[in-house]
Structure 1
Amino acid sequence: MSKFNAIRNVFRPASTSPVVSESVPTGTTGEGAPGYARDARSELFLLAVTNLVGEKTFYESSDARDSRYVDLVHRVAVEDPEWTGEFLRWLRGDANLRSAALVGALEAAKAMVSAGIPGSRRIVADVLQRADEPGEALAYWTSRHGRAVPKPVKRGVADSLLRLYTERSLLKYDTASKGFRFGDVVDLVHPSADTPWRGDLFAHALDRRHHRDKPIPDSLPVLHRNVALRAAAVADPTVLLDADRLREAGMTWEDALSLAGDRVDRAKLWEALVPSMGYMALLRNLRNFDQAGVSDEVAATVAARLADPAEVARSRQMPMRFLSAYRAAPSLRWSYPLDRALTHALANVPSLPGRTLVMVDTSGSMTDTFSKDGTVRRWDAAVVFGVALAQRCARADVVSFSSTARSWGDPERAHTKVFPLRRGESLLRSIERWQAGGWFLGGGTATAAALRKHVARHDRVVVLTDEQAGVDGDEVTRSVPATVPLYTWNLAGYRLGHAPSGGGNRHVFAGLTDAAFRMVPLIEGGRAGAWPWVRSR
């Protein structure tokens, strides 16, 4: 038996990670344990990647959270505008967080313009990546900062229009429900068209906004076909069952359903729409497909797209989207493709040697949903990432933890439950078993006590948590031997954390995607872990 040549006994080179905190706690967590403050970039990163903007959390109101985010953006944008620009582009791109990136870009521009720092035009342009976002950006700016929009912001928005405003995007996003229509944006930022047809599109958007009875320019054939199809559907709704005609007319699935009403077979209409639907549209309509009774042949086409790794990568969906779709879809025919899609979305989760302890925080504060209309909770995300990691480790122990405390003043003893992994079990099936078997515990957050209870000759410890540990006689970082790496996966972005970070075998990661996982092998290989966007340089 090997007694000495184990991973834990091999010399580990010193390594660092990008989220840096103080080495001595200067505050307390929401539950009263020692809390470690981070530097401004680290705090901003942790907050942004867990923040959907305008959403309250267990320990922080939405106003306080949003104000902290804006203050951090202002500070970091002035101190390090290059880092801010790279971060916000990654936040909107790979991380696919629209609201946080949009607000961050505009507030960075506000701070940079006030300080006379160039570069905000490009930041604004790069963050706007969907055709409804220029209007969103101007609506946010005018509601917060007034009608006077500085030139860098206007020019950044104008630059984005040359990528985003097309015939199809006008049909999809230029609706009467928007405060800023396409024409309003064009009117305010005065873009210079790069082609004659786009100039015609800008002019038509203005005519459309101001209800001018002018013909659609000949250079915009999709709009002409859309008008013709709508007119034909009034007399004969079966024209909406022609998949080619729907696609050529840029007809959205929402408009097609509205036009058809109950005059055509709903299953046949969905079957005609499927070929031109985007990945996200397919994902959110699985229940509708089942309720309408689409054929197995069409369902197989949808399933193949959902499970295609290239489609998953291109869609940039967060892993939680697949869990939401799985829970919402009534038919088992979506289970396998959604499990494959979730696996592809977690491609950066590493295979780790040795023995790993995965601690999943299922305390009461982890019951927060990420948005007020959402169904996926922070503890769902913790389970997804934790079990996915455990399934790829050579050996792993997975433990759900909280506290015996159920109200203020109760003792913070550890309440834990070991989750047995099953060889070959799909990730979605594991998550379903976790929920059905009572591994969501509730109560307080006895992180330190839970660690002392379960750490036993492990090569590393991974804790997925909001970091709001409860009061304990020995703090979290001292509950794991200094020679054992402690990786905290932060799922809430509060100001103070439960352990130091940045070096000394103590590291904090965060986010709602798998991007940060790739830092673990780097750190354990003695290399410095970098911000998740550095790899793309």
Structure 2
Amino acid sequence: MRFNLNFRSKVAPVRNHENAPAYPLTPAQELYAAVATAALSDQFYELADTRLARLRELVARSDPQFVARLAVYAREQLYLRSVPLVLAVELARIHRGNNLVSRLVARVVQRADEIPELLAFYAQANGRTGAKVLARLSKQMQHGLALAFNKFDAYQLAKYDRDGAAVRLRDALFLVHPKPHSEAQQAVFNQLVTGELPVPYTWETELSAAGQVAYPSPAERQAALTRTWETLVASRRLGYMALLRNLRNLLEANVSTDTLALACATLADASQVARARQLPFRFLAAYREVLALEMGAAPPVLAALEAAIGASARNLRGFGADTRIVVACDVSGSMQQPISPRSKVLLYDVGLVLGMLLQSRCQHVVTGIFGNTWKRVALPQGQVLRNVQELYRREGEVGYATNGHLVVQDLRQRREVVDKMMIFTDCQLWDSTGKGNTLAQEWAAYRANVAPQARLYLFDLAGHGTAPLDVRAEQGVALIAGWSDKIFDVLAALETGGNALTEIEKIEL
């Protein structure tokens, strides 16, 4: 199935959140951008409830097969967890006639705790509370969740069977009645019902057990904690994500040199990086935590993190020595927003990380940041995280408006020919000088007078539903959305004649 991205209905000009001229997206494009950038938390221009309402409206306007493919793409390629469940629930509200919903639910539920999470959202979306939470579940949703239950063993069910949840796994089991595929699985289901699942071993339970012992002195307690961390690393029972998130704890526990070396080797192992499927900005968050310690043991850990993020971009298709690139990162005020309430990572950080990943793979590249002004910053290759920190240090030098047109204006005035321009932004561009300059005007002038073959790639990091210029191939413009390194697969598709949704079209349901 192909999705027509070039269709534009005759609509009145639209305005963005800064009341500047903007261009509408097709429903498929808008849903793709909204999903790929969804943390379902409050953003600078849009509250979480507003985003949910817009997702619901866009799902209703979109082809069901596209919605299902997009949900799978978001879960398996963009590494998102909650928004694929939202899409599945919204699709269940409006789609009938085949088993698309049940197959989708079974596909996107990949952790046991996503079963109660999906049911909780299903109840919320259908206005049900209290005893009604588990009432009148659609047959396709019920069948899909039953299939999902069959994926999980006793360890996975026990690990995610949490007290205090609106819906417990035991409740979900009674609701969907999964058919066990063996007597052993029936025994596991029985244990879930009776509350007799074995306590799962996790690094959290190991640390908790160590912390509950009474020690004669604080020094002995600290020594026991150090030994526990060393055992966890040596046994390789600390998963990659847990290791990434606990680097600061390892350093503060003063683990041995050998333990730290093993942790660094694990972090930098390209095969483990590939399996871990971490979003690129997770490496930046860990890098900053370690950097803040100012410890003598930190440098090898920082080097391992650089190696890890480099490995995550190893398959990123860069460009040859003759391809001239501009990488421009938006550092305006609206980009200074956390991607979720519990995260220290900002949209601004995501743009810098993705921009520096791309810069690391190009041979001829101009890098810079824009706000009130546009500033070129020369940076060495091969130091993605260090380069991000350097740009972060300098962001105040360009101010906090969103004058993205200055990037192209600078090229036009220099009469500098480039092949490809990459702009990482929330797409809420405007002219803070009041002169009414726009990116669309500058791009048209640049292509007409300087570089007719140039192409502009707009990396949308917020998904607010509009673009600052017409995102059609004949205009030399393409829209790409998301926070994962997988967005560069979309870039590769565009290079071979595809479009922003080509990767989604490849999904087999």
Whether these two folds match at TM > 0.5 is yes
1:314, distance to aligned residue in structure 2 (A): 1.3
1:177, distance to aligned residue in structure 2 (A): 3.0
Structure 1: gaps (5+ residues):
1-15, 209-215, 227-249, 404-414
1:329-369: CA deviation from partner (whole Å, max 9, x where unpaired): 23233112211111222234332232111111111111011
1:520, distance to aligned residue in structure 2 (A): 3.4
Counterpart position of 1:255: 205
Q: Give the 3-state SS of the residue equivalent to 1:400 in structure 2.
A: strand
In 1: Cα distance, 2:377 partner to 2:202 partner: 44
In 2: Cα distance, 1:18 partner to 1:315 partner: 34
In 2: Cα distance, 1:21 partner to 1:452 partner: 29
**Is 298-307 or 363-372 further displaced after alignment?**
298-307
1:295, distance to aligned residue in structure 2 (A): 1.6
In 2: Cα distance, 1:25 partner to 1:452 partner: 27
Q: Does residue 1:457 correspond to 2:392, yes or no?
A: no
Counterpart position of 1:446: 403
Among 298, 308, 311, which residue is 1:341 paired with?
308
In 1: Cα distance, 2:59 partner to 2:161 partner: 30
Asked if 1 retains the 8 angstrom alpha-carbon contact of 2:479 and 2:500, the reply is no
Among 140, 158, 167, which residue is 1:152 paired with?
140
Counterpart position of 2:345: 376
1:256, distance to aligned residue in structure 2 (A): 1.9
**Is 463-472 or 35-44 further displaced after alignment?**
463-472
Q: Give the 3-state SS of the residue equivalent to 2:150 in structure 1.
A: helix
1:259, distance to aligned residue in structure 2 (A): 2.1
Correspondence list, 1:106-505, <5 A: 106-113=89-96, 116=97, 118-145=99-126, 146=128, 147-164=135-152, 166-208=153-195, 223=198, 226=199, 250-261=200-211, 263=213, 265-274=224-233, 275-329=236-290, 330=293, 331-353=298-320, 354-403=323-372, 415-422=373-380, 424-438=381-395, 441-455=398-412, 456-471=416-431, 473-480=436-443, 481-482=446-447, 483=452, 484-504=454-474, 505=476
Q: Does residue 1:27 correspond to 2:8, yes or no?
A: no
In 1: Cα distance, 2:500 partner to 2:36 partner: 17
1:260, distance to aligned residue in structure 2 (A): 2.1
1:477, distance to aligned residue in structure 2 (A): 2.2
Asked if 2 retains the 8 angstrom alpha-carbon contact of 1:22 and 1:36, the reply is no
1:408-467: CA deviation from partner (whole Å, max 9, x where unpaired): xxxxxxx12211122x55111111222234467442111123421234211121111111
Q: Give the 3-state SS of the residue equivalent to 1:417 in structure 2.
A: strand
In 2: Cα distance, 1:462 partner to 1:134 partner: 39
1:320, distance to aligned residue in structure 2 (A): 0.7
Summarize the Cα distance change of 1:19–1:513 in structure 2 as closer, same or farther, 3 Å threshold. Answer: farther
Q: Which has the higher contact order (CA 8 A, sep 6+)?
A: 1
RMSD value over aligned CA atoms?
2.3
In 1: Cα distance, 2:81 partner to 2:228 partner: 31
Asked if 1 retains the 8 angstrom alpha-carbon contact of 2:281 and 2:345, the reply is yes
Asked if 2 retains the 8 angstrom alpha-carbon contact of 1:17 and 1:507, the reply is no
1:32, distance to aligned residue in structure 2 (A): 2.1
Among 50, 64, 67, which residue is 2:53 paired with?
67
In 2: Cα distance, 1:83 partner to 1:204 partner: 39
In 1: Cα distance, 2:115 partner to 2:467 partner: 35
In 1: Cα distance, 2:344 partner to 2:46 partner: 20
Which residue identity does 1:362 align to in structure 2?
A: V
1:133, distance to aligned residue in structure 2 (A): 0.5
Which residue identity does 1:366 align to in structure 2?
A: M
Which residue identity does 1:333 align to in structure 2?
A: P
**TM-score scaled by structure 1?**
0.82
Summarize the Cα distance change of 1:190–1:520 in structure 2 as closer, same or farther, 3 Å threshold. Answer: closer
Asked if 2 retains the 8 angstrom alpha-carbon contact of 1:102 and 1:137, the reply is yes
In 2: Cα distance, 1:312 partner to 1:31 partner: 39
1:142-189: CA deviation from partner (whole Å, max 9, x where unpaired): 23313321111111111001102x121133111213232221111111
1:31, distance to aligned residue in structure 2 (A): 1.5
Asked if 1 retains the 8 angstrom alpha-carbon contact of 2:478 and 2:500, the reply is no
Which residue identity does 1:162 align to in structure 2?
A: N
Q: Does residue 1:91 correspond to 2:41, yes or no?
A: no
1:18, distance to aligned residue in structure 2 (A): 7.5
Structure 2: gaps (5+ residues):
129-134, 214-220
Which residue identity does 1:258 align to in structure 2?
A: S
1:524, distance to aligned residue in structure 2 (A): 4.0
Counterpart position of 1:46: 33
Summarize the Cα distance change of 1:177–1:347 in structure 2 as closer, same or farther, 3 Å threshold. Answer: farther
In 2: Cα distance, 1:385 partner to 1:440 partner: 21
Asked if 2 retains the 8 angstrom alpha-carbon contact of 1:417 and 1:439, the reply is no
**Is 504-513 or 427-436 further displaced after alignment?**
427-436
**TM-score scaled by structure 2?**
0.86
**Is 328-337 or 381-390 further displaced after alignment?**
328-337
Asked if 2 retains the 8 angstrom alpha-carbon contact of 1:31 and 1:469, the reply is yes
In 1: Cα distance, 2:405 partner to 2:3 partner: 22
